[in-house]
Every structure is written in C-alpha cells, then in structure tokens.
Amino acid sequence: MDSDSMKKYLLFALFTVMPILVTAQSRTAAFEIHNRGNLWETVRDDGRLGAPDPNNRFENYPSLDWPGGPTVMNKDDQRHYRVSAGLWIGGRRNDGTIFFVENGPFQTVNVVNVQPLRKETNYVEEPGFRPNEAEETITAEFTTNENLRVIRKSRVWSYRTYTNTIFFEYLIKNEGGQSISDVFIGFPNLLRPSYQDFVVHNGWGDDFNRVDDFVRFDPDIRMMYTWDDTPSFDLPSDVGNYLESEGELRTTGYAGYAILHHDPVSGGSPQPVTAFYAQFLNNERFFTQTSSSVTALYNILNGTDTSLQAPDNERLAPFMLMSVGPYTIAPGETVRIVVGEAVNGITQQRALLGLSAQAQLPAGLDSLRSTMNRARTLVDNNFEVTSVPPPSPEITVIPNPAEQSVSIYWDPIEDIWTNPLAPSATLRDYRIYRSSRSFIGPYEILATIRPSRPIDFSRYYDAANNRWLYNDATISLGGEYYYAVTSIDTRNVESWMTNRNEEGIRAAREPVDNTNTVRVFPNPFKLSSGFPNPNQANDIVFTNLPAKCTIRVYTSSGELVKEISRDNPNSGEEVWNQLSDARQRTAPGIYFWTVSSDVGTATGTLLIVK
C-alpha cells in the first residue's frame, strides 16, 4: 500500500472509530429498576448503578432506596442510600503498558458496544414460576475499549430472607488477541446514608459543614459499610436524621457492599486486595480519568497508593473502593465475581420513637451483617434458595365513603398454590396489614385469617363472589391508608408485601378546588362494587370533586343516563347506584361521564361489566 493510500485508510479508520468512542463517552445510559423487595435500585446499561441524577427534585428513580418506593412520591420522602457506583478494571497489556477502564461512578464510561438491558421477572405468583431463579434479573452487557466483554446480572428476591439485598454477578471475558496480566477489578461506590440529609440540614454530602458519614471495613465478611452520624457535636439530633416536624428518625439503616465470591487470584493473596475509603469532597479529581492519569488510578485500584485513605474518626462524604486481583486473563478466559449490596437497620416503628430511638441505631449493623451472611450462603449455593414463601394474593382495595370504611378483597389461593420446593408446606394464613402513614410504613397487623378455621370462614369468606373480604371499619374520616395482604405457610414462612397500594386510600375526601384529579371507582365495574354492604353492590363513586358541581353520565351513543347536582362542602365524593333518571338499572357497556363546575370541567369513560 503506497503512502497516499495508507493516509486515506488511516483517515477512514479514524473517522469510523471516533463516533463510537465519542458516543461511548457522551451517550445517555438506558436503565431498568429493581422494585420487587424492600431495597430498590436503578441499574444502568454501561456498568453504573444508581439513579441518573438522585439530586433531581423532579425525579423519583431509586438510588439504593431503603425502604424503597413508591414509584411516585414527594422527593423529601425518598430514602436514597447511594449517589452512584461503577466498575473499574486495570492491568497490563502484553507489551507491559498499563490500561485502565473507568465505568463510573462519575460520568466517564469506557464502553464501545452496549447491548440492550434485559429485565426478566419470575415472580412467585406468576404462572411458570421457577423456584431456582431470582424473582427479578436484569442483565447488562457491554464491551470496554480494552476488548473486555462484561456481563452483569443483578438479582433480587422479595423473600423476607433476601428482601434487603441486591446481588450483582460480573462475568469479565478477555475478547482481545493477547493475554493481560496484573488485572485488578474494582467496585467504586458513593454510598451515602442518606438523601434525608437534604431534608434535615439542606445538603447531601456537598459541603464540609454537612458531611456526617462514618465508614468501616469488616474483613471477616469482606464488607465495607457506612452509616449516618452528625456533622457536629453541637447537633446531636442529626444522628439518624431526626426530622422534628415528623417526629421521626429518617436515616435508620447501615448500607454496605461485600465481595461474596471471586475466582482464585494469582498468588492466592487475601481478598479484597483493596478496601479503601476517602473523603470525596476536594478529592474527586483523583478518582477519574478526566483529571488524573491512568497510572495514578491503577495504583489506587491495586492498593499501591493509599495516600488518600481516611482515618476512622473522620466524617466523610465517602468515596469507597474494593478491588479483587491480580488476575492473568488469557484470550477467551472469563473471571467471575459476585458483589452483594444491602441496607438494614431498625424498623419504621422504632424510627417513629424519634430521639429516644437513637440509642438503638447501632443494632442496625448486626442486622446488616446477618443480611450479608445470608447473601453469602445463597451465592455459595449457586443462587438456589432452599425455601419459597407462598405468593401474596392480588388484592383490590376500595374505599366505602357511605360506611366510612375500606374493603380489601382477593381471590382464594389456598387451594391452588403448591410449593414447588416443599409440597407439604401449604398456605395456612392470610395476614392483613395497614399503614396510616405511608407506603413504606410502619404497618400494623389488622387481622390474621385462617381459611381452615370455621369462624374465619364464616366471618371473612364472601361465598356469593368466591373471594375473601375484609372490611376495615376502624379508619378515621379523611385519613389516608395503605394496605397489604401476605400469605403464611405451615412452616411459618411469610411472603413480602408485594401487593401494597402505592396511592393512599381515603374513605372520604374533602372537596377540592379544581377538577384536575376527578376519579371514578371501581372502573371497570365488574359484577359488584366490592363494598361489604349488600345494599351498595351497585355503587360507583366519583371522588376528588369540587363542593358544587354537576355529574352527567351518558351512553356511548350520547344519551343522558343520569344527572346528579351536588352542593356538599363536607365531602369530595358522590355515589351513583347505577340507576338512571328514569330509575332503570344500567346495562353493561361503555359510558361517558362529565363533571362540570365553576372551577373546571372533567371528562372520562366508565366500563360496566356484568
């Protein structure tokens, strides 16, 4: 090839490769969310973990949220325990030069090929449930600029044994043509308990006057963890983020991550080889290629440079790193590492004791250690659980304004559920929970229903509709409630509260000053309203209404069926018993409704199935 041809070839190659590399640095990562258990997380397709921007006041994507949920909430109620996390890989090429792959926890991402994320659900209540697989698995697959193909599988179970844990399995394959040596694989993490710092003292690890986290490493279980303290001894109430307006400790958990498995390293040295934590503020420039050299980062990764290691008595906005190595990886060979992440602490009930519960906060560390030990046992068992709970039933929660009660009903599953791992462990009880505070609790037990007990069958079984029915008549007018129904088998194994209503239920709402949120329930109406009073079997409720308005219901052809004029300053609900203005019962079909008032108009559709 002559020199001119060579120049053209090089220019072609350069402009062919450049868009891939630039895109790798500037692309917006796709993400999926784990939201099955008590610990919620956002996982991205390029190796990073955590919400795209956990500080965004208009987004609720989880960032190691504990307790997690709901999907949409007031940002001040969100419990992030992490800003971001990532994956580092460094080593030596065959010619002895050092390489360093940085995928987070900041914006730099060294990828050249990213596959679409794959989220698979395997919920215990789903047909075809596979007991030896996780309930949620999200697979990320990408290739780095050093021809290392990474497959990361994150796994989640709702089972109470594992509901506070997320498992990350990494398979790192050398797809280059030459061996690489002295390879270290690291997991940088910006754990930070918790976003409630922002609520309590208007900042989340963004200023030296507000840094308040301690970090430790537990070599016995290879876990690094952190917890919330106070930025100043003058603010003792800040331990656990006491929020006076709510009378609650808002950050009650210890957050940690551990190396649960790693393939044998060269030389068999103890692992992790690096367990490093430093002050993030003023030091970020040392932890990214945008402002530091490949050699400097590699030396932090492999543990050679510990000059920024923080002393144990320093309060931090932590930068944390654990790494495993060294490895020699020949072409085609794969290294497997499993990392567990968990948050655990005192219960929501105790958190509501306020400052008097601060002395109980250290008990959260024992809970975290127990959680991580159970996680390690599961990994040692190749992710095959030894016990499966019965499924939580699918529930319907309906407020009953006229009776000032809330009804919860569900189809019976006690006779159709067979435990695939222990067929003799049949469903014994249903347990009804209620929270008058929020989706995350705390929850109280309202009742335990045992289907085999005649008195329970007589009291709670709705034979006419073949369903279990619980009527909660102990509510307060205008109060907002959250419900869950769990299942318990004969071994006393209980399911998780996977069926909670994300929006609070009120038995009676006050009038509103607009028509933006008018709702109709039940919609669709199927056979019966679900209200416990037989006289209300046909009731349909309009809610979030102005005090004074007119409701009209039309057939699909535009014929007026019912007009209701209301003027009620005490309630935002109106009940329609499905009788037309001519006192005729409505037929099944699609109906249109309007709400007209001086403060606005709302329209919608209503489906009646009988």
Q: What is the pLDDT of residues 123-173, one digit of tens each?
A: 999 999 999 999 999 999 999 999 999 999 999 999 999 999 999 999 999
31-34/318-329 β-pairing? unpaired
pLDDT of residue 529: 63
- The sign of the dihedral angle between the CA atoms of 563, 566, 571, 572 is positive
pLDDT (0 to 100) of residue 403: 77
**Both tokens assigned to 322:** 């654990």
Distances, alpha carbon 478 to alpha carbons 72, 405, 435, in Å: 21, 11, 14
Tell me the CATH class for 519-609. mainly beta
CATH code 2.60.40.1930 region(s) in the chain: 519-609
Closest among 368, 372, 376, 167 to 252, alpha carbons compared: 368
Share of the chain above pLDDT 90, in %: 83
Helix (H) or strand (E) holding 140: strand 136-144
Cα angle 327, 333, 335; round to 5: 50
Quote the CATH superfamily of domain 20-380.
Answer: Glycoside hydrolase, family 65, N-terminal domain (2.70.98.40)
Please count the other Cβ atoms lying within 10 Å of the Cβ belonging to residue 156.
Answer: 23
Percent of the chain with pLDDT over 70: 94
pLDDT number for residue 531: 58
Q: Taking the CA of residue 333 as centre, how many other CA atoms within 13 Å lie in the half-sphere pointing to its CB?
A: 12
Asked if residue 203 has pLDDT above 80, the reply is yes
**Residue 565, Cβ neighbours under 10 Å: how many?**
11
- Per-residue model confidence as pLDDT tens digits over 509-523: 779 999 999 999 889
Cα 64-247-73 angle, rounded to 5 deg: 40
**Sorting pLDDT into bands at 50, 70 and 90, what band is 419?**
very high
Q: Could you write out the DSSP letters of every residue in 83-97? A: EEE-EEEEEE-TTS-
Residue 506: predicted pLDDT: 78
Query: Residues 6 or more apart from 97 whose CB is under 8 A from it?
Result: none
Indicate if the alpha-carbon torsion angle 368, 370, 371, 376 is positive or negative.
positive
Block residue for tokens 């014929």:
559
pLDDT in the model for residue 13: 37
Q: Rounded distance, CA 133 to CA 383, Å?
A: 7
Span 477-489, pLDDT tens digits: 657 899 999 999 9
**Separation of alpha carbons 339 and 223, rounded Å:** 10
Please report the DSSP string for 379-412 in residue order.
HHTTT--S--PPPPPPEEEEEETTTTEEEEEE--
**Radius of gyration, CA atoms only, the chain:** 28
pLDDT, tens digit (0-9, with 9 covering 90-100), for 330-342: 999 999 999 999 9
**What region, left, alpha or beta, does residue 294 occupy, with left being phi > 0 and alpha being psi -120 to 50 degrees?**
alpha
Both tokens assigned to 273: 């080889």
Look up residue 14 and give its two tokens: 């350069």
CATH 2.70.98.40, the chain: domain bounds: 20-380
Hey, what are 166's tokens? 């997320």
Dihedral angle over CA of 255, 256, 260, 264, nearest 10: 160
End-to-end CA distance of the chain: 80
Q: Which tokens in the block code for residue 138?
A: 């999200």
How many Å apart are CA 528 and CA 540, to the nearest integer?
A: 10
Q: Is 523 exposed, middle or buried (0-12, 13-18, 19+ CB in 10 A)?
A: middle
In the structure encoding, which two tokens stand for residue 592, read together? 């249109």
| CATH class for the domain made up of 395-489 | mainly beta
pLDDT confidence of residue 441: 96
Both tokens of 483, joined, read 């419900």
pLDDT digits (tens, 9 = 90+) for 7-51: 333 333 333 333 333 334 468 999 999 999 999 999 999 999 999
The pLDDT-based confidence of 536 (bands split at 50, 70, 90) is low
pLDDT in tens, 52-111: 999 999 999 999 999 999 999 989 999 999 999 999 999 999 999 999 999 999 999 999
Task: Give the chain's mean pLDDT.
Answer: 92
3-state secondary structure 171-204: EEEECCCCCEEEEEEEEEEEECCCCHHHHHHCCC
Q: Evaluate if residue 256 carries a pLDDT over 90.
A: yes
The two three-digit tokens of residue 407, written as one number: 């009804």
Which contiguous run of DSSP H or E holds residue 550? strand 548-555
Residues 154/141, Cβ–Cβ less than 8 Å: no
Look at phi and psi of residue 104 and say left if phi exceeds 0, alpha if psi is from -120 to 50, else beta: left
